[in-house]
Amino acid sequence: MQFRLVGYAAGVLAGALCAGSDARAVDLPARRPGLWDVTLHMAAGAAPPITMKFCTDKSVDAAMYKLGTSPGAAPCSRKDMQRSGNVVTMDSVCQMDASKLTSHIEMTFTGDTAYRTSIKSHYDPPLNGQRESSMSQDAKWIGPCPPDMQPGDMIGPSGIKVGGIKMNVKSRAE
């Protein structure tokens, strides 16, 4: 279940960062290219924080945008995004397995070196026995990507017993 939630959270956050087809007009704040430290916090008591390292650049963001708007992306009947200053909000209604997923996402950017994302979701009918979920993500830029990482590489999540997994999200998005 933890892997599924991490995968879902990564997908939602990628979609929020890269916008959906209905939200293209929203000009999102740019993230600084390089290495990011990303910590995912599940609802109180649900699980310990999960931390990942992610190397990104403009090409990675473009590939994730392409993945989020591809025909294979989750079918959504609503995907509204708005920006007010450094805050981006997204409200969506999508199909996830046999459940209708209604989400509210709020991202607050601090320049191009940090952002915080809050996600509140409702599943109808409940998904794996869960009707509501709440999670947040804190991300901060920590410097250039190290020589052993290329844009798209993600290491983690370290909060899961088999932490330290390395994969390239860009290659999966292309």
Indicate the pLDDT class of residue 62, thresholds 50, 70 and 90.
confident
Q: Can you give the pLDDT at residue 103?
A: 93
Q: What is the CA radius of gyration of the chain?
A: 15
d(CA 138, CA 127): 25
Q: Can you give the pLDDT at residue 124?
A: 95
Instruction: List pLDDT tens digits, range 100-129.
Output: 999 999 999 999 999 999 999 999 999 888
Higher-pLDDT residue of 157 and 32 is: 32
| Residues 34 and 45: beta-carbon distance below 8 Å | no
Instruction: List pLDDT tens digits, range 124-173.
Output: 999 888 899 899 999 999 999 999 899 999 888 754 444 567 777 766 55
Q: Can you give the pLDDT at residue 50?
A: 86
Q: What is the dihedral of CA 59, 62, 63, 66, to 10 degrees?
A: -160
Compute the half-sphere exposure of residue 118: CA atoms within 13 Å on the CB side of its CA. 6
Q: Can you give the pLDDT at residue 47?
A: 78
Answer whether the bond into residue 126 is a cis peptide, omega within 30°.
Answer: no
Higher-pLDDT residue of 77 and 75 is: 77
Res. 69: pLDDT tops 60: no
Indicate the pLDDT class of residue 29, thresholds 50, 70 and 90.
confident
Res. 81: pLDDT tops 80: yes
Domain spans, the chain: 2-173
